[in-house]
Structure 1
Amino acid sequence: MDQLSAMRAFIRVVETGNFTRASDALRMPKATVTNLIQGLEAHLHTQLLNRTTRRVVVTTDGALVVERATRIIAEVDELDGSLSNATGSPSGRLRVEMAGAFADWIVIPALCDFYRKYPDIRIDLGVGDRTVDYLAENVDCALRGGSSGDQSLIARRVSEMGMITCAAPLYIEKFGVPETLSALETDHYCVNYFQAQTNRTLPFEFRKDGATVAVTGRYMISVNDARSYLTAAQAGLGIARLPYFLIPDDLRTGKLIQILPEWDIEPVPLYIVYPSNRHLSNK
C-alpha cells in the first residue's frame, strides 16, 4: 500500500464529506479512493470512517489519524516544494477563482509575461464572485477585493484598488450633480452593489477630515458583478463608485465624469485567499 496516497485520499474524503467529491478532487476513480481507505484501515487495524448511503462520518480514531496525517502530508509537501524550488521552476496545475473584472482587466492581460517566467504552470481560471468550496472544488486560491469574513481562510494582502465616484453625462443631464452627501442620499440614484454570498448591499463610504460617512442611496438597479456595475454606470442608471483601473479611458473621454471629488474613498484591499489547512507549494 502507498501509505502517503492513502493518507491524502483519507484527508480529502474527510474534507469533502464523501467519496465522490474526494475522487473528483483527487482526479482518480472512486473505486481507487475506496481501496486506499480500506487499505489504510487494514494497515492501522481500526475503522476510520462510518459510511452511510449519503455521507461519511469520521470515527474517534479517524479524527486522530486525520490530524496527524494532515501534518505529515504538509511536511512532505513542504520538503518536495523546497527541493523543487532549488532544482527547477514551479510547475503543475493552479486552480484560481476571481471576479470577472479582475480576470479581464488585470490577470489575463498579464499572463503572457507570466508564462515567459513560469512556462510550466497551467492555470484553470474560474471567473465569478460566487461562494467557493475550496476543498470540494480543489481550488488553490482566489483573488478577492475586501476581506472575506471567513475565519477558516487565510488572506494575504497583495495590493489595493483606488476608487472614484462618477456618473455618466446622460445621468447628469437628467438629475444634475449632488453637491452634498445628503443630496446624494435623498435626491439621487446610485448604482448599488450587493454581495453574492450574503445579498448585503454595500453602502457608499466617504472620508473627510478624519470622519467617515456611509450613504445608502436610492437605486434603479443593484448588481453583483463589477462588469455589469460598470455598464449600468455608463448607461446613466445612477451614480457609481468604481475602481480606477476600470475607467481611465472613460474619464479621459468624458464617458464618465467624477463627482464629489472633495470626499475621499478608502482604497479597497486586494487579497489572495486560500484555506488555512492547505499547504502552499511553489506555485
Structure 2
Amino acid sequence: MGHDEQPPYQRVAGDLRRRIKSGEWQIGDKLPGRPDLARHYDVGTNVIQKAQERLIIEGFLEGRSGSGTFVRRPRERLRMVRSRHREQRRTSPFRADMADHGITGTWESHSQARTPAPDEIAHRLGISPGDPCVRTDYEFLADGRPVQTSVSWEPMAITGQTPIVLPEMGPFAGRGVVERMRSIGITVERAVELPRPGRATQAQANLLGISVGDLVLLIERTYFDADGRPVETADIVVPDVRWEVAYEFGIDAPGR
C-alpha cells in the first residue's frame, strides 16, 4: 500500500458515504448484507464491517440487532461554546452548556485523594512533584451519551482541610471549580486553556464511544485565583466527530 493510498475500509466507507449522500439509499433504508457488499467491493466481510462501523460513528448508519444496518439521518455536529460567561452562571458550566442545546447534562466521576502530583501536573499547579492532590476522573454525558472526558487535579494544600476536598461530595458537589473555590474564600479570576488536536487513545475511545485514532480536541485548562496562584488544572478530551468548540471573547467598551 502506498503512503497516500487509503486502507480498504476507508475506501469502502467513503463510497458508501457518497452513495448515501447521493440518495441511492434513503433514510430508513436497509443496506445490502455484508456478503453482498463484500462481493461488490471485492473485499472481505471484515472490511465491510469496519467501514460500516465508521459510518455508524459518523451518524450515517445505525445497526439494529438481528435486523441489519440502516441509513439514519446524519447527526449534526453541535457547538460547545467556551467563554468567561459560562463561569459566571452559578451552576455547573457543563450542565448549563448542555441546557442551551435542550440536552440534559450529567456526569460520572471518581475522585482519589492524596494522589502524588506527576511532574507535568506539579509544574502546571506550581507545586512540587509528589505533593498530594485530589485527582478526579470525569465522563460527561449528554442525554446519557458520552460527550467528553476530563481528568482534574487540585492541590490538597488548598482544599485538604475544607468541605470541598472531594469535588463531587459535600455541600457544593457538582457546582464547578469557580463556585466551590468561592465557598472557601478563594476567588477564581481567570482560566487559561491550551487547545490542540489529537487522536483518541484506546482508553479515550472506550469512554467516548469512538474509534482508536479518531480526531479529538485536547484542552489543557488551568484556573488561577486573584493572586495568580493555580488552584486546579485539567485535561479535557472532546470528540471531533460530535462537537466543535468555539471560544467567545468579551470586548470591553472604550474607556473601561
Q: TM-score, normalised by structure 1?
A: 0.28
Larger RCO (CA within 8 A; separation ≥ 6): 1
Pick the structure with more helix per residue.
1
Of Structure 1 and Structure 2, the greater strand share is in 2
- Report which of the two structures shows the higher radius of gyration computed on alpha carbons: 1
Task: Give me the TM-score of the superposition, normalised by structure 2.
Answer: 0.30
